[in-house]
Protein backbone atom coordinates (compact mmCIF):
# COMPACT_ATOMS: atom_id res chain seq x y z
CA UNK A 1 0.00 0.00 0.00
CA UNK A 2 1.25 3.46 -0.85
CA UNK A 3 2.06 5.84 1.92
CA UNK A 4 3.28 9.36 2.37
CA UNK A 5 6.36 10.14 4.43
CA UNK A 6 7.05 13.48 6.09
CA UNK A 7 8.09 16.10 3.57
CA UNK A 8 10.74 17.28 6.00
CA UNK A 9 12.69 14.06 5.41
CA UNK A 10 13.95 15.43 2.07
CA UNK A 11 16.11 13.67 -0.49
CA UNK A 12 19.45 12.13 0.51
CA UNK A 13 22.07 14.83 1.01
CA UNK A 14 25.01 14.94 -1.36
CA UNK A 15 22.93 13.35 -4.10
CA UNK A 16 22.27 16.39 -6.27
CA UNK A 17 20.98 16.02 -9.81
CA UNK A 18 23.34 16.55 -12.69
CA UNK A 19 20.95 18.33 -15.04
CA UNK A 20 23.63 18.66 -17.74
CA UNK A 21 23.76 14.91 -18.30
CA UNK A 22 26.77 13.08 -16.97
CA UNK A 23 25.07 9.84 -15.97
CA UNK A 24 22.64 7.41 -17.51
CA UNK A 25 19.17 6.95 -16.09
CA UNK A 26 18.86 4.17 -13.53
CA UNK A 27 15.30 3.40 -14.61
CA UNK A 28 12.01 5.13 -15.30
CA UNK A 29 8.70 5.61 -13.52
CA UNK A 30 5.30 6.55 -14.87
CA UNK A 31 3.61 9.35 -12.90
CA UNK A 32 0.02 10.51 -13.19
CA UNK A 33 -0.46 13.96 -11.69
CA UNK A 34 -4.02 14.82 -10.57
CA UNK A 35 -4.22 18.54 -11.36
CA UNK A 36 -6.79 20.56 -9.45
CA UNK A 37 -9.40 21.87 -11.87
CA UNK A 38 -8.65 19.25 -14.55
CA UNK A 39 -5.83 18.79 -17.03
CA UNK A 40 -4.34 15.66 -15.41
CA UNK A 41 -0.93 14.69 -16.81
CA UNK A 42 0.70 11.29 -17.27
CA UNK A 43 4.38 11.00 -18.25
CA UNK A 44 7.32 8.62 -17.91
CA UNK A 45 10.32 10.13 -16.11
CA UNK A 46 13.94 9.09 -15.48
CA UNK A 47 14.88 8.19 -11.93
CA UNK A 48 17.80 10.08 -10.39
CA UNK A 49 17.21 13.42 -12.14
CA UNK A 50 15.45 16.59 -11.04
CA UNK A 51 12.65 17.46 -13.48
CA UNK A 52 10.54 20.60 -13.95
CA UNK A 53 6.77 20.38 -14.05
CA UNK A 54 5.59 22.89 -16.65
CA UNK A 55 3.33 25.66 -15.38
CA UNK A 56 3.68 24.82 -11.66
CA UNK A 57 0.27 23.07 -11.53
CA UNK A 58 -1.78 22.72 -8.36
CA UNK A 59 -1.39 18.98 -7.62
CA UNK A 60 -4.00 17.23 -5.47
CA UNK A 61 -2.98 13.61 -6.06
CA UNK A 62 -0.20 11.42 -7.49
CA UNK A 63 -0.11 7.88 -8.87
CA UNK A 64 3.25 6.17 -9.54
CA UNK A 65 3.16 3.03 -11.73
CA UNK A 66 5.50 0.94 -13.90
CA UNK A 67 8.27 1.68 -11.45
CA UNK A 68 10.81 0.12 -9.11
CA UNK A 69 10.61 1.17 -5.45
CA UNK A 70 11.07 4.95 -5.41
CA UNK A 71 10.53 8.06 -3.34
CA UNK A 72 9.05 11.08 -5.13
CA UNK A 73 10.24 14.45 -3.73
CA UNK A 74 8.39 17.58 -4.95
CA UNK A 75 9.27 21.26 -4.55
CA UNK A 76 7.40 24.49 -5.28
CA UNK A 77 10.56 25.91 -6.90
CA UNK A 78 11.54 25.18 -10.51
CA UNK A 79 15.04 23.96 -9.58
CA UNK A 80 14.57 21.56 -6.65
CA UNK A 81 15.61 24.08 -4.00
CA UNK A 82 13.88 25.05 -0.80
CA UNK A 83 11.74 22.89 1.46
CA UNK A 84 10.20 19.69 0.12
CA UNK A 85 6.46 20.33 -0.43
CA UNK A 86 5.34 16.72 -1.00
CA UNK A 87 6.88 13.26 -0.60
CA UNK A 88 5.28 10.03 -1.86
CA UNK A 89 6.50 6.41 -1.74
CA UNK A 90 6.04 4.47 -4.96
CA UNK A 91 4.96 2.52 -6.75
CA UNK A 92 1.45 3.25 -5.51
CA UNK A 93 -1.49 0.85 -5.81
CA UNK A 94 -3.79 3.79 -6.57
CA UNK A 95 -3.78 7.56 -6.42
CA UNK A 96 -2.30 9.09 -3.26
CA UNK A 97 -4.41 12.14 -2.42
CA UNK A 98 -2.93 15.22 -0.79
CA UNK A 99 -3.89 18.79 -0.02
CA UNK A 100 -3.50 20.74 -3.27
CA UNK A 101 0.03 22.13 -3.57
CA UNK A 102 1.83 23.91 -6.42
CA UNK A 103 4.70 21.81 -7.77
CA UNK A 104 7.49 23.34 -9.89
CA UNK A 105 10.04 20.51 -9.79
CA UNK A 106 10.41 16.95 -8.56
CA UNK A 107 12.89 14.11 -8.25
CA UNK A 108 12.45 10.34 -8.22
CA UNK A 109 14.99 8.52 -6.05
CA UNK A 110 15.45 4.75 -5.75
CA UNK A 111 14.76 3.33 -2.28
CA UNK A 112 15.56 0.03 -0.62
CA distance 57 to 9: 23
Dihedral angle over CA of 109, 35, 97, 72, nearest 10: 0
Q: Are 76 and 101 in contact (CB under 8 A)?
A: yes
Q: What SS3 class is residue 7?
A: helix
pLDDT of 9: 55
Q: Which of 99, 50, 97, 98 is nearest to 77 (CA)?
A: 50
The C-alpha atoms of residue 28 and residue 48 are separated, in whole angstroms, by: 9
Q: How many Cα atoms sit within 13 Å of 24 on the Cβ side?
A: 2
d(CA 41, CA 103): 13
Spell out the domains of the chain, with CATH numbers in brackets: 32-110 (2.60.20)
**pLDDT, tens digit, 9 for 90 and up, residues 33-75:** 999 999 999 999 999 999 999 999 999 999 999 999 999 999 9
Q: Give the model's pLDDT for residue 12.
A: 55
Residue 2, pLDDT above cutoff 90:
no
pLDDT of residue 110 exceeding 80: yes
Answer whether residue 8 shows pLDDT above 90. no
pLDDT digits over 13-38, tens only? 544 444 445 454 569 999 999 999 99
What does the pLDDT read at residue 112? Answer: 85
Residue 107 in contact with residue 11, Cβ under 8 Å? Answer: yes
Amino acid sequence: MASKIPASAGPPSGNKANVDGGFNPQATSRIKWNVRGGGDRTNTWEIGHTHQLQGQPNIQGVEITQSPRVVLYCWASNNGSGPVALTVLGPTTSQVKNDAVRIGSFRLQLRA
